[in-house]
Structure 1
Amino acid sequence: MDINLRFLSRWTQWVNTFFAPKATLKTESDDAQKGLISLKTIANQYQPRTGEEPVNENMSSPFICTAEDFIARESQIKQITDVINLWRNHHGEISAIVAPAGAGLSAFLGQIPSLLTNINTQQQDASTSTVKPLPEKGVIMSFYTAPLSARDAIANVCYCFDMQPPAAMTDTSITDIIIAINKLPAQLIVIDDLHKLMLRMMGNAQALVTFATIVMETRKHHCWILGCEKFAWQRLSAQYEITHFIKHVITFDYFNAKELARIQTKQLVDLGLMSDDYLSQETGNTESHRGQKSSEATHNKNDNDDAVNPYEDQLKQLHIISQGHPKLAILLLQYSLTHQADIAQSSGSEKSDNSTKHNSSTGSDNNSKQCTDICKINASALPSCQDSDLFSLAEIYVHGGLRVAQHAHIFAQTIEQSSLQLAYLARQGLIIAQYSQRDFAQHFYFITPALSKIIASHLVNNNKLFH
């Protein structure tokens, strides 16, 4: 009876929202005039204007992924280099790189091919007959369909090596596959989004065991590196004891203020709002400071005047609001620049008074400082969520996304109930839909990428996700 009542409550809430008069609905400019950006507006940055089309991922940050502009992660790069060198010296073990959603895990994994090239260049002269040569082939891939049987898991692994999976399962299928894989030339296999292999449905546990067994038995010959979201990793550790067979675990978090400022400065240069000379100067200063730390005490303060970023205050605000989440910071900056006229109305005379006092005390040196206001996030949709909504968000987050039918299976409810609940969360901007043209049960929903940290923090505070 409770389920039916909750269903009717959700149905009423959905109908009221859908049929609300247009004049009473908040618009994008309404929030902007208050210096805010809504969760729905953030979600809309990832969606095409037309209704039922695949999600547009143009908001990703290509400059973070390129080798020449890759930001920070120096210690993690060293750790993964050591892991590869251990494998070359016949001490191969499975490695995992764990980071929260949106912290740049995929971008980090994308650096591994260039890392192999650097290792090869550095160690050509030091190579000996006892050291394995670097793999001629490296594969980076992510599975978007979780296996629900041992046969599915074998097929996934075979796909890594461009092999045909067995036509039928036998008692020796796993053994035969392991032998066949170990006869292939050594490869480096990077599996991104490991959490998408874990689906809480019948058969998935055996599929994970099969996958883990094959990886474990081929780790000496092939170099396996797995990438996994932090909260999903904790669940895999608690439920499947994944740490028992993965020896090297490398972790990182969201960007600190200095790292995020470097990313945002590059964006400002790309937008034509800052000179490329400043970016070159900043890079040069960073390198010189690493080699000349002893000269910092005698460095004249006036020498640093030209290096002051004209958007320094805004970059600090961006880090505080985004909490180091790069996609969210990029989106906030673009939105704030686009809607500056609306956002400025929210501060009005208060900003003007503060600016006058500040300018009178600091003089003409601050004329180069920009007066851009950074909008804040209107996250009021999150506190209004019911427990059932939060549990749904937690499962979608940990799995990297769920189809309507999968959600219904996990929560033991009808597909229609799941469809309405997920559609409601999508209208709040908390999740994004990839629509199936054939079957609404196959609509795929995932957490709005720029909101992953905000949503995860809310779920942790409400005991739906656990450290």
Structure 2
Amino acid sequence: MFNNLKSAWKTGQQFVVSLLGSAGRSTDNEEDAQSGAALSPQTILRKREDLAAQMPSAVVAAYSNEPLEPQDPRFVGREEELARLIDALEDWRNGRASLTAITAPHGAGITSLLNQVRSKILSTETLSYLSLAKRPCSAAEALRFINSIFEFEQAPESVAEMVLAIKNSPPRVIIIDDGHMLLSRKMGNMAAVQTIGAILVATQHCHCWIVGCAKQAWRRLSFLYQSDRFFNRIIELDYFSASEMSEMIERRFYGLGFEWCERLELEKDKPDPMPVRFKQLHDLSNGLPEMAFFFLLFAMEKEPDADAFRLSEFSHLDTSVIKSCSEEELFSLAEIFVHGVMAHVDHETLFRISPEQSVLRLERLCRAGILHRIATDEHYTSNSYYISPILAQAMVSHLVLSNRLY
């Protein structure tokens, strides 16, 4: 009997390894999706890789989803939000408390907005910009994170010592991105959040703190720790409006020197057809740039003898795979969505399941195109997972309707 159990365990391990090796690969018999069709998340993954080889590299790069650098001419909209951030800087310069949070749904451009603030810093001012790469799950880890900003030679070992050291350091603007990493279900997270919160509140007259955090994580932090009560400003971003989306597409396109065939062929005194097309793109993406950019690129057809593109019918997202998720998978997706990124070991601990059960659930969702895996060179349990940004809106809507997200 022992040998049978040992054999079964070994077979299970081999299956997990095989699954990890094959996850993310599309099946050979999958039909090529055409423009105008409903595309599954898995098909979108495959087609995105194809676009890089089929389209001019400059066009693909123009519609990249990477955050925009300071003063990038492709930055569009956000005038009101940027003005409020400049007000936060002015408060700090005039000796008033300045503790600001920026929240937005996934993919709405928090990092790009934070990058624009960097260009507003005066040459005489000091800026510290960093992203939370790891979740602090104890007071000691929180203190080490704060110390990484100021780099004190003798690292303070208590909140009181840290506050005193920060107050005695030269004033600076401190921007912290990926604030969703403050949220964790591990023991010690409360101590970590309270430690960082206490330091920010106690030093807000000396330094200008700006924290960017995904919307759902901010809601959870506010519910658990009342974090929203301690910030002077809370700036809420949303996805882009139809006019902003149109300007974003146009600005990126014409910076490459191309034209739209529809405009070149336009008869005199006829209305420009492109605003209507861009409005269609906004409606199907609901203002989410990553989705809009993919469906735009997928519909673009290069004219062989001209520096021009024609737009075919736009495709749209097939959400049936999301609706087919099991109850256990929905609970996992809800927690991963709120946390932003979740390590395999955290998923295993949170749901009190075995490593094999955890990886099977996570990798099934990867194969479906719902999750993306951040792989490491170590054991598979060191991998992390996040929800594909292109699915952000559809996922949150389904989780809310399913009473898995509030």
Give the TM-score band, short-chain normalised: 0.7 to 0.9
SS in 2 for 1:141: strand
* 5+ long unaligned stretches in structure 2: 1-11, 52-59
In 2, Cα distance between the equivalents of 1:245 and 1:216?
Answer: 7
Paired with 2:194 and 2:143, the residues of 1 have a C-alpha distance of 11
Matched, 1:252 2:241: no
The higher radius of gyration belongs to: 1
Cα 1:403–1:271 shift into 2, 3 Å: same
Q: Does 1:451 align with 2:391?
A: yes
Residue 408 and residue 96 in structure 1: after superposition, are their counterparts in 2 closer, same or farther (change >3 A)?
same
CA RMSD of aligned residues (A): 3.2
Give the Cα–Cα distance (whole angstroms) in 2 for the partners of residues 48 and 197 of structure 1. 36
Q: 1:382 aligns with which of 297, 300, 322?
A: 322
> How far is the alpha carbon of 1:266 from its aligned partner?
2.4
Name the residue aligned to 2:367: 427
Quick one: distance in 2 between partners of 1:163 and 1:42? 47
After superposition, residues 341-380 of structure 1 pair within 5 angstroms as 370=310, 372-380=312-320
The 8 Å contact of residues 260 and 324 in structure 1, kept in 2 or not, is answered as yes
CA shift, 1:374, in A, is 0.8
Shift of 1:314: 2.3
Q: How does 1:2-81 map to 2 (within 5 A)?
A: 25-27=29-31, 29=32, 31-32=33-34, 35-44=37-46, 59-61=64-66, 66-81=71-86
> Does the 8 A contact of 1:32 with 1:339 survive in 2?
no
SS of 1:60 mapped into structure 2: coil
The amino acid across from 1:250 in the alignment is: I
- Are the counterparts in 2 of residues 310 and 369 from structure 1 also a CA contact under 8 Å? no
Question: When you count helix as a share of all residues, which structure comes out higher?
Answer: 1
The number of equivalent residue pairs is 368
SS of 1:438's equivalent in the other structure is coil
Q: 1:163: Cα distance to partner?
A: 2.8
Residue 273 of structure 1: how far off its partner (Å): 3.8
2:92 aligned with 1:87: yes
| CA shift for structure 1 position 109 | 0.6
The residue correspondences of 1:10-409 to structure 2 (distance < 5 A) are: 25-27=29-31, 29=32, 31-32=33-34, 35-44=37-46, 59-61=64-66, 66-117=71-122, 136-164=125-153, 166=155, 169=157, 173-270=158-255, 272-274=257-259, 309-337=272-300, 370=310, 372-409=312-349
Shift of the alpha carbon at 1:34?
A: 6.3
Q: Is the 8 A contact 1:42 1:450 kept in 2?
A: no
Residues 4-43 of structure 1, C-alpha deviation per residue, up to 9 Å, x if partnerless?
xxxx9xx99x98xx79xx988533x1x3266232211333
Determine helix, strand or coil for the equivalent of 2:206.
Answer: coil
Q: 2:56 is matched with which residue?
A: none
- Equivalent residues of 2:97, 2:232 under 8 A apart: no
- Give 1:113 shift: 1.4
Q: For residues 241-271 of structure 1, what are the alpha-carbon distances to aligned partners after superposition, in whole Å with 9 as ceiling and x for unaligned?
A: 1122112111120001010011111233255
Amino acid at match of 1:330: F
The 8 Å contact of residues 311 and 369 in structure 1, kept in 2 or not, is answered as: no
How big is each residue's C-alpha offset from its partner over 1:142-193, in whole Å with a ceiling of 9 and x where there is no partner?
Answer: 11210111110000001111335638x4xxx221111111111111001111
| 1:254-301 C-alpha deviation (Å, 9 max, x unpaired) | 0010100111112332555427xx9xxxxxxxxxxxxxxxxxxxxxxx
From the superposition, tell whether residues 107 and 186 of structure 1 become closer, same or farther in structure 2 (CA, over 3 Å): same
Using the alignment, how far apart are the partners of 1:180 and 1:69 within structure 2? 40
Which runs of 5 or more residues in structure 1 are unaligned?
1-7, 50-56, 118-133, 279-303, 341-367
Would the alpha carbon gap of residues 399 and 62 (structure 1) be closer, same or farther in structure 2, given more than 3 Å must change?
closer
Structure 1 pair 213/189, CA: closer, same or farther in 2 (3 Å)? same
- Secondary structure at 2:102's aligned position in 1? strand
State the alpha-carbon separation in 1 of the partners of residues 288 and 70 from structure 2: 15
Q: How many angstroms apart in 2 are the aligned matches of 1:66 and 1:431?
A: 32
Q: CA deviation at 1:404?
A: 0.6
Mapped contact 1:311–1:370 kept (Cα < 8 A)? no
Partner Cα separation in structure 1 for residue 239 and residue 112 of structure 2:
13
Is contact 1:40–1:429 with CA below 8 Å preserved after alignment? yes
Q: Measure, in 2, the Cα distance between the counterparts of 1:423 and 1:67.
A: 37
- State the distance in 1 between where 2:294 and 2:277 align: 13
SS in 1 for 2:209: strand
1:149, 1:207 within 8 Å by CA — same for their partners in 2? yes
- Please tell me the residue identity of whatever aligns with 2:152: M
Q: Tell me which moved more, 62-71 or 153-162.
A: 62-71
